[in-house]
Structure 1
């Protein structure tokens, strides 16, 4: 997609702090980190959201899932990390290109959703 910000990052039209790239995926630091370690892994193929994933994407998604722990360790997540995929309006997705946030650091991350008691 010509106007997609993440597609522009993949094409090098928008600068990013790249941490990994291969033929299928691209990983870079989040420009507004929510934790001491916060990067994103995206497919180079434009997929609008997790809701648009099809069977033909199975191998790509598997590659991404296998890559995440290695990249997390390389970035300093030695005692765990969190993966987040925001999907659609209700899920809080802001950029409509499938992306996985990987967040961590040295302290325990806060709860994601607070349940009323």
Structure 2
């Protein structure tokens, strides 16, 4: 049974992006599924936000049903990096940081003991940060690859979604292969 893309979720009236209250400095890309804009407070040579038009609150709300959209977000990321930064090669892809700040979630500490981690997202609409050549010390603290409790990489999210899909369907339902970074 093929996995269907989730139906468009209703616009959230409290979401800055959905209600049009989001400051856009430059739009780099738009299609029927997503928009890519410059971050108004860049933390690198370039700092883009890839945002689905469908309201998805946070990275924790992504499910295996969102895989087609998510893979498209990764493909758009890779295409934009290729177009805007031809100097970044597979050997220098470490210069590109892409991922998400974390939403609220429960974690098991020991046995039945659970702990709720607070969210660290400021805009409650899914947005993937794509930063090339991180340029500030604060940026290393705000987008820490070393702390997945705060920031999770795009590739780790893909692994989680593909694992969920495999658990539900016994493998990729659409016959697609896993996306590889850059």
- What TM-score do the two structures reach when normalised by structure 1? 0.78
The question of 1:100 aligning with 2:118 is answered no
The question of 1:18 aligning with 2:18 is answered no
- Matches of 2:86 and 2:38, distance apart in 1: 14
Runs of 4+ in 1 over 6 A off after TM superposition: none
Equivalent residue pairs, number: 111
| Aligned CA distance change for structure 1 residues 106 and 38 (closer, same or farther; 3 Å) | closer
Offset of residue 3 of structure 1:
2.8
Between structures 1 and 2, the one with greater strand share: 2
Alignment counterpart, residue 68 of structure 1, candidates 74, 77, 82: 77
- Matches of 1:70 and 1:18, distance apart in 2: 15
- Matches of 1:113 and 1:14, distance apart in 2: 26
Unpaired stretches in structure 1, ≥5 consecutive residues: none
Unpaired stretches in structure 2, ≥5 consecutive residues: 1-11, 105-117, 148-182
- What TM-score do the two structures reach when normalised by structure 2? 0.53
Kept in 2: contact 1:77–1:104 (CA 8 A): no
Larger radius of gyration: 2
Offset of residue 55 of structure 1:
2.5
Kept in 2: contact 1:77–1:106 (CA 8 A): no
Q: Could you say which residue in structure 2 is the equivalent of 1:49? A: 58
